[in-house]
Amino acid sequence: MSQHFYVHPDNPQARLISQSVQILQSGGVIAYPTDSGYALGCMMGDKGALERICRIRRIDASHDFTLMCRDLSELATYARVENSAFRLIKNNTPGAYTFIFKATKEVPRRLMNEKKKSIGIRVPDNKIALALLEAIGEPLLSTTLILPGSEMAEYDPEEIADKLGKQLDLVVNGGYLGEQPTTVVDFSDDEPVIRRRGAGDPTPFE
């Protein structure tokens, strides 16, 4: 069974954040809260943990994985971003959006969309997620926790533990969240295209 940490949504306990990071750095896969439901996360360079996430979600190499970033300072390292796109994103982050860009060479090939050589980038508006990212010191490889056959993100950490307890190393319990996944905006062909309407207001990108 996975471990289960009850983390305060407004004042995340440093001890639990540190223990969560140790689990990630030891090859763990975690479920953790964001501003649009729960997400699955692992270290960016951990191939085995990535394969486990793919099995849980039943996704393949054509999936757009996301690098969860603490702020936009990490954007240019991993994504090719035009100035006009950067201004749009800056005005709407942190928030419940995933932005897809052509990836830079800093992104391991196995994380890119196989056809488009793209990667998702996200800056969450959630104190627990941001505390994890600050403690790790690099982006967390993530994907929204949408179980096979569903279109909505998992929002109940107790249910996540019941459904996926044997497949996860840790559930970071930040309370009940909304079920809507992020709004996905694709900039991989320069002009923004809304790929999924979710928790983030799509209006600025239409």
Burial of 107 (0-12, 13-18, 19+ CB in 10 A): buried
| Domains observed in the chain | 3-205 (3.90.870.10)
How many C-beta neighbours within 10 Å does residue 26 have?
Answer: 11
Considering the entire predicted model, what is its pTM? Answer: 0.94
User: What residues contact 189, with CB distance under 8 A and at least 6 apart?
Assistant: none
User: Could you read off the pLDDT tens digit of each residue along the chain, which spans 206 residues?
Assistant: 789 999 999 999 999 999 999 999 999 999 999 999 999 999 999 999 999 999 999 998 678 899 999 999 999 899 999 998 999 999 999 999 999 999 999 998 888 888 889 999 999 999 999 999 999 999 999 999 999 989 889 999 999 999 998 999 999 999 999 888 999 999 998 789 999 999 999 999 99
Contact criterion met (CB below 8 Å) for 142 and 98: no
- Tell me 166's DSSP state: T
